[in-house]
Structure 1
């Protein structure tokens, strides 16, 4: 059974053109949304058909349009069609023995907002971003079971239930993985854990950035990797000839996880510095000791909280960059990154410009990255292209 929702006339053309996100303030009758997972018939105020979708609460909106085709229903055949098409578009990755971890379905970029699917050496991991899309679990799992040669399927529930995010075993079907599962990224080994909550050990959207660091920038440089997580940037830097890496992250798990990533690549982790500490505190320490680095990697979360402070990329990135500039060698390189969807490319560049103006130094942007092509984005929803990375040379 479908519930009809009406889009305000002033936004009707936008939705008719394929805009997929159902926003509460775009609706005339939002009060009819009562249960997540509701099938929605989306029309304008005059009753003209726009599409079909579902109700699911995300920080972005209240649901997604899944089809604009008259007569197409939200059923197994829709999920089959869209997921099979997405798998086909990743053929080059499936055929590449040097990269065995990548995204096979990227939400609205592949036509179904609210769900992503990642591939790790035969295992699939489904990320559900609302209780609404989770109502279609059987359809998504069925498509993977019938259309892929899967070893095992895992899931991550990225929505809050009673204020808590669910981190249970995450296994759905097939064989259970043995962890760490070693996957390859451009020939480098990466340890992942599909059974330890939402973050598996590597952010694959940074694949091209890590490759660039290894192949074009790391040789002969000392590298500071802040918010280092499991140290993947540093492993690539070391593989590319960096003289030493320093890894700083507040999470206790970052120490054993980073040691592991170096070790599975035959690198001596004891030749690196792996520090569990607040990045902001470390900047002050490095400044006092007059430590300087030839490459500084800044990839903070959109929001971070420590005992003493809260960081928001939208508000605090300029100050973070100024701290990094202070400990970067002249002619050094800063790799500045944000995955905050609310910070546009243009706005991100203003953060960079402001930081350098306030420190009185010049800079050149030598290279720029956004999402790799397995993270498909649709032109009707440019906010989906959330990743912004700039390679900045101090001059």
Structure 2
């Protein structure tokens, strides 16, 4: 059993306009009470969710191709997550691990040591969010190396804190009007095959050469504490760097004493068909940051890495009041057990087997789809004006809206706002997955 008894029926059901009257009433209350800066992709207010379905307060059942942005990979009401978190709630909700510790935190750290790439000695520190994890990875790398500079990549996204906004490429909505940002951050090219000017076949070699040249000349490798990269770039548009690029950058980091940080916050925990996306090319990062899918919907994040690097920060230098909260740790242990029990890596690969051929077929009939890409259950299509590679953010928004109205929850992304990303829960039924693709195909047919 993977979901609780309150999980909604696993079917698409549209019984009102979307959003319906109850959602509209709640949204009016939200607008009066919640800051405008907190937006919504789709203002339907959720009553319950699980499996591959989100049910709203009006009784609509939406097929979920978003997973709360890759968070509810095991489903939004996974039985083991609910069971473990409920048991922990009955015992205690909080003590602060830095004051009086508890076993759940230690067990999560042990699981992370076992699951992350490499057979070296590893340690972890737990936090609340992906941005916190990235920020602490940078702190650890600086403490270990005695250096200050941090290198990141075009189209990268790493969070909304001041430092992680500096690490993030895209201005609107993440950085606009919020500066000044943290210094000593340097951005270099990434191997984006679809948009590499000399073609995808040259992308890996040329992008790596350009990135290394810029680091060497503009920063100085001896000044770089960390290179931080997403093995599959999330908010930038589900970009898979061309094969060979990531190993070359990792080799450069190793040769120059730079801490190589894999940001696996969106791509980790079975999302790409492996525990972590960096495994695809055999990369063993020095540090790996995780969050999102780690705890089945409860707020938890981690930095895991080589013990000697993780131990560089002085005692008391890492932590936070809620970091590694006992209830979130219990949820993580339930989520990881579910991933193993159901072999969610295999489920992610099966989702890819179903989705990619179907999306390729839709693309054959709709030249606005310029690229179909991704791995596992982290798949995307990039929309362009036919006959060009000019991004078509307007059409992207229209397709998303049509899907929402028909009961399919999808998300847009990308530096240019022209990518539709698909992040279904890894436990979604194949029938629902196929029906969701039917809805998408109908949306393109309607808008063509």
Which category of TM-score, normalised to the shorter sequence, fits these structures? 0.3 to 0.5
State the TM-score, normalized to the length of structure 2: 0.32
Larger relative CO (CA 8 A, sep 6+): 1 or 2?
Answer: 2
State the TM-score, normalized to the length of structure 1: 0.35
Structure of larger gyration radius: 1
Of Structure 1 and Structure 2, which has the larger fraction of its residues in helix? 2
Of Structure 1 and Structure 2, which has the larger fraction of its residues in strand? 1
